[in-house]
Structure 1
């Protein structure tokens, strides 16, 4: 019997059914039993290939979708960062443009290198003077390296309380008990040494004349104000100032008193002067070194011949010209100040912090044992802090706004009549757009007397008080180039030192101060 075998080409094998699930292929076996042929393997292979290709395509689609999502997030973040960088760059460019325009429009910029260097107290530059560059005199002097500034500061104080226990000038006990007037007049000349390759090199020579109707507030004198040499080292990391210096303009200065025209007499508390620190009225030989740690932090040290341990008035009487190298009982004052000076910038308020200590080996009288020979060495400590609380004009004048601050000072009560000093202040700079250079201040103070000095006075049967509190409000106005005036009202509880009588237990002092710069 002849068997017929169908040609393989005519036999159709059912193709396995393949599904794709989560990127995998599953091929079901056919339900019918078919003959094995050479084509079956080929068909299955092709089916599996198609399945795998589909799976690969799907995986690529999902990966592409995820990649596209990640790329979108990255693009969004990049665009946001680019916008922020662009805004920051625009703001920086704006500030640079403002500064560049100010320099381009400032004909007085050529005098900047001739203003006194190394001070914390601000003195107006040539643009803010009455004379400015009239007749080209200042320009002619600047061409040979000479700069100058002269000014007069005049103050009137009067207690306006009824029944204020007025007295004769000879018996006056505090400033304002009688109408009190005092004047200080200065002339400072600088010579630029940087023209000879000395980094920031400068020579400063100054003279001062002062007088008052009540001598204790400002003893009559005419003498030197400063004779100094200044330069920097290591790209301004180190500053050197040596000569007859007035350290009250370089140590313990609060931000409120550092403003041009507002106060050119440094710290308001008397503790630093008791401790021997030099001042405008009493310059002394000294070497000052300032290490600038970075753009804000610094450490400053002074080796200064102290003023008389008996006070400023005694020192001036002993050395009215200020040129004497030594005075009786005065020794060496070593003064160190560590601080931070953060300048105001758009969105970054100004911060100034200073902490200092002084050691003086002068011969002081011991207030606890006043009959013992002079032999005791003195010291003092201080802390001052100022913080900008609100910026009123962020973009063009970041330093304008409202500030708060405080000062704390201490000295041993057995060697110092004033043992503690506290000050809290609230003030503004350029609060009114139409008055950008004006300042308003509210200051509360407490001066604490030595308990040994108070006990000694009480033992003599006198009326005594342990401290003297005060509150003052002042408006300082910039009237014209080089002309400033301050009007204030101060209430003082116990304005005298330690002893008092009932009629002079209080004072309400009205004061006017005018400063004119040439």
Structure 2
């Protein structure tokens, strides 16, 4: 057995959103935001200061149709990857980076996009996005080439088309919250082929996902129906010849407002399994590296809502095979202490 390692990971980021209602346009909104992100634990991500979002949101036909366009963060718009749907509570949650590989924009890398959502009723919906893809070489390459987020395009990046259909009802007294969704993304960017690395670029990419969340118990039927215990899962897939991560599985159990004295805090336990591309693994093995074909993790977090827009999270994570595909005998598994503060204003 490899000896466990302990790390302290700390990330600071600040989001600043300015939201206003356009004069004379009912049920519309303009959103402008900037982000400053700094990592003490450098492998966690690149530092940046730049655009977070510039968006115009408008509804039509008594909110049957919703339009959002501008520089968007589609990872917050599709798939529901945030544990419990809370930005503050999700800071330490494992991220399903299959969506990033497929080119989906996010907080650190917004891109031009137009999203259209059609609500069949107050629960059933479908949603489509036409988005400029992230760099097919990954998030690091996108931010390095476009640190401010203002560039209209980056090298080899094309168009990402995302479609999602879902069913979502909000919690009410005696009615548990339920959210079911499934979606797919198709990207015409110029990707490298992992099975035939000597071939020139030009391969289109795709990704697919299903997810579900359900409120299992309501702790405050007469007051705040959202409070209680929830469970959920996510399954994601991407072709192994174009993506280093080919499969992602997640099980989650979380509680909102479990304590009367802390009605907006959240507790989460998340288990994940990430499966690497068999082509990428075989190529690393042929080079004589120590490799693994998947990585599993279990994470527990407590997120405290300290004040409006201010969250603090502490968590503990055990990761089996914490590195990406290749590893050394000293990096078989890790025990991570995670501490995070989030400020939204």
Could you tell me the TM-score, scaled by structure 2's length?
Answer: 0.95
> What CA deviation, in whole Å up to 9, does each residue of 1:487-514 have, x standing for no partner?
1111000000001111110101011112
Q: Indicate whether 1:304 and 2:126 are aligned.
A: no
- Counterpart of 2:78 in structure 1 is 251
> What CA deviation, in whole Å up to 9, does each residue of 1:172-228 have, x standing for no partner?
xxxx75x443322221112211x40x2311211111121223444221222111111
- Counterpart of 2:152 in structure 1 is 325
1:367-382 counterparts in 2 under 5 A?
367-382=194-209
> What CA deviation, in whole Å up to 9, does each residue of 1:72-125 have, x standing for no partner?
xxxxxxxxxxxxxxxxxxxxxxxxxxxxxxxxxxxxxxxxxxxxxxxxxxxxxx
Tell me, yes or no, if the aligned pair for 2:11 and 2:339 is still in contact at 8 Å.
no
**Equivalents in 2 of 1:487, 1:216: separation in Å?**
19
1:183 corresponds, among 5, 8, 12, to 12
Structure 1 residues 239 and 365: alpha-carbon distance in aligned structure 2, compared to 1, 3 A threshold? same
* SS of alignment partner, residue 326 of structure 2: coil
- Counterpart of 1:502 in structure 2 is 329
**Equivalents in 1 of 2:47, 2:272: separation in Å?**
28
* SS of alignment partner, residue 227 of structure 2: strand
1:124-143 counterparts in 2 under 5 A?
none
Tell me, yes or no, if the aligned pair for 1:252 and 1:267 is still in contact at 8 Å.
no
**Equivalents in 1 of 2:92, 2:206: separation in Å?**
21
Structure 1 residues 286 and 266: alpha-carbon distance in aligned structure 2, compared to 1, 3 A threshold? farther
Tell me, yes or no, if the aligned pair for 1:248 and 1:265 is still in contact at 8 Å.
no
Tell me, yes or no, if the aligned pair for 1:252 and 1:382 is still in contact at 8 Å.
yes
**Equivalents in 2 of 1:498, 1:402: separation in Å?**
35
Structure 1 residues 470 and 204: alpha-carbon distance in aligned structure 2, compared to 1, 3 A threshold? same
Tell me, yes or no, if the aligned pair for 1:255 and 1:386 is still in contact at 8 Å.
no
Tell me, yes or no, if the aligned pair for 1:308 and 1:327 is still in contact at 8 Å.
yes
1:348-387 counterparts in 2 under 5 A?
348-387=175-214
Q: Indicate whether 1:316 and 2:143 are aligned.
A: yes
- Counterpart of 1:55 in structure 2 is none
2:107 corresponds, among 272, 280, 296, to 280
Structure 1 residues 260 and 301: alpha-carbon distance in aligned structure 2, compared to 1, 3 A threshold? same
- Counterpart of 1:140 in structure 2 is none
RMSD over aligned Cα atoms = 1.8
**Equivalents in 1 of 2:41, 2:342: separation in Å?**
20
Structure 1 residues 323 and 450: alpha-carbon distance in aligned structure 2, compared to 1, 3 A threshold? same
Structure 1 residues 247 and 492: alpha-carbon distance in aligned structure 2, compared to 1, 3 A threshold? same
Q: Indicate whether 1:451 and 2:289 are aligned.
A: no
- Counterpart of 2:40 in structure 1 is 213
Higher relative contact order (CA 8 A, sep 6+): 2
1:86-105 counterparts in 2 under 5 A?
none
Q: CA deviation at 1:454?
A: 0.3
**Equivalents in 1 of 2:268, 2:94: separation in Å?**
16
Higher helix share: 1
Q: Indicate whether 1:512 and 2:339 are aligned.
A: yes
**Equivalents in 2 of 1:228, 1:391: separation in Å?**
35
Tell me, yes or no, if the aligned pair for 1:448 and 1:466 is still in contact at 8 Å.
yes
- Counterpart of 1:409 in structure 2 is 236
**Equivalents in 2 of 1:276, 1:339: separation in Å?**
21
Could you tell me the TM-score, scaled by structure 1's length?
Answer: 0.64
**Equivalents in 2 of 1:382, 1:267: separation in Å?**
16
Structure 1 residues 265 and 252: alpha-carbon distance in aligned structure 2, compared to 1, 3 A threshold? farther
Structure 1 residues 249 and 163: alpha-carbon distance in aligned structure 2, compared to 1, 3 A threshold? closer
Tell me, yes or no, if the aligned pair for 1:403 and 1:426 is still in contact at 8 Å.
yes
1:432 corresponds, among 251, 254, 259, to 259
**Equivalents in 1 of 2:76, 2:263: separation in Å?**
24
Q: Give unpaired runs (5+ residues) of structure 1.
A: 1-160, 165-175
1:10-409 counterparts in 2 under 5 A?
164=5, 179-193=8-22, 195-196=23-24, 198-254=25-81, 256-263=83-90, 268-409=95-236
Structure 1 residues 422 and 163: alpha-carbon distance in aligned structure 2, compared to 1, 3 A threshold? closer
* SS of alignment partner, residue 38 of structure 2: strand
Q: Which has the larger radius of gyration?
A: 1
Tell me, yes or no, if the aligned pair for 1:306 and 1:333 is still in contact at 8 Å.
yes
Alignment: residue pair count: 344
**Equivalents in 2 of 1:357, 1:508: separation in Å?**
34
**Equivalents in 2 of 1:296, 1:419: separation in Å?**
31
Q: CA deviation at 1:254?
A: 4.2
Tell me, yes or no, if the aligned pair for 2:9 and 2:338 is still in contact at 8 Å.
no
